Amino acid sequence: MTSSSVRVVTYNVLANVYAKSAWFPWTERALMKAKSRLTRTREYIRELDADVLCLQELDGYDDDGSAVTSTSLPSWRSWLESEGYDSRHVRRTNTKKDGSCVAWRRNAFTCVDHRAVSYNDIAHEMYSKSDNGDVDDERSDERERYLRDCVANLTVLKRMRDGAEVLVCSTHIFWDPQYSDVKVQQAKRLVEECERFVDERASAGSDVRPHVIIGGDFNSEPDSDVYRVMTATFSSASSGREPAFTNVTPSFTACIDYIFVSDGITVTRVKEQPRRETLGEGLPNETHPSDHLPVVVDVSFE
């Protein structure tokens, strides 16, 4: 990585609330214990040596009494600070405490703007309520399809060395393949919100128009409509040559995690994923603490 390059990582870290041994029977039970897995996850992230992190399913961001922070280990916010990162976390819009995080090296970037996107707003807009606050019975089930509590974290960073701005987004699109229409609408909303944010920054008198980097778990394969929505506006950091997989389990192994970039960003390196035969029956395992693999790219700004 050159001195002008920026290493960007997107990584679904597998929230502890979802890390149940019953759901991952192929993984040694000791590896699923919260403290052990959290320690290994942080060691793994440290080794990635990222300048910018897009993390999904991150719980225990603050000292909120969750399974992560009850391990006697520091919260994610505190740990990131100790590693030289500032960060911002957007929690899902339900009772669970996981969400999407953007973190950046504080000696290289500073945050100049941010906003949260709740994809539940799609339901509120598509199926407006009547004057008495109700939704017609015929449409209430349709509306419920879109209430999936998924979010996006949009954070504008300014690079200290040259003033370049970049809108970094970390997001997690709904998982269920039976809800392809919901996933497409979430992807469309994400693109709209990113474009709107960039336009607002420019019209507000920002000296530079921000670049865009989007990292996330899109729960959609490269032949999906979600992928087509994203690449209609942004470029895949892998130039369309996506890895064979980023999520590895005995029942499902596929590429569903991506980094997308705007014009003006040059991808100088994409880290190769490990060979499937080196990963055993499935993830997590001793080497990889999540069921996902990170996507790691080096980029430069024009």
Q: Calculate the dihedral angle through the C-alpha atoms of 155, 158, 160, 161, rounding to the nearest 10 degrees.
A: 120
- What integer pLDDT is reported at residue 45 of this predicted model? 98
**What are the pLDDT tens digits along the chain (302 aa)?**
555 899 999 999 999 999 999 999 999 999 999 999 999 999 999 999 999 999 999 999 997 656 666 678 999 999 999 999 999 999 999 888 899 999 999 999 999 999 999 999 999 898 875 445 555 656 788 889 999 999 999 999 999 999 999 999 999 999 999 999 999 999 999 999 999 999 999 887 767 789 999 999 999 999 999 999 999 999 999 999 999 999 999 999 999 999 999 999 999 999 999 999 999 999 999 999 999 999 999 999 98
Amino acid 131: pLDDT: 47
Question: In this predicted structure, what is the pLDDT of residue 126?
Answer: 87
- Alpha-carbon distance of 46 to 41, in angstroms, equals 9
Dump pLDDT digits (tens) for 172-195.
999 999 999 999 999 999 999 999
Predicted confidence at residue 149, as pLDDT, reads: 96
Q: pLDDT tens for residues 104-160?
A: 999 999 999 999 999 999 998 988 754 455 556 567 888 899 999 999 999 999 999
Q: How many CA atoms lie within 13 A of 35 on its CB side?
A: 5
pLDDT of residue 134: 59
Residue 157 near residue 301, CB atoms below 8 Å: no
Predicted local distance difference test score (pLDDT) of residue 19: 96
Fold observed for domain 6-301: Deoxyribonuclease I; Chain A (3.60.10)
Looking at the DSSP assignment, which residues form a beta bridge with residue 168? 155, 213
Burial class for 81, CB neighbours closer than 10 Å (0-12, 13-18, 19+): middle
Boundaries of every domain in the chain: 6-301
Q: Please name the residue that has the structure tokens 């449409």.
A: 139
Q: Write the DSSP string, 224-290.
A: SHHHHHHHTTSEETTTT---S-SEE-SS-EE--EEEEE-TTEEEEEEPPPPPGGGSTTSSS-SS-SS
Write down the pLDDT at residue 71. 78
Give the C-alpha separation, 238 to 236, whole Å: 5
Task: Tell me the C-alpha to C-alpha distance, in Å, between residue 212 and each of 86, 120, 156, 233, 261.
Answer: 19, 23, 9, 11, 6
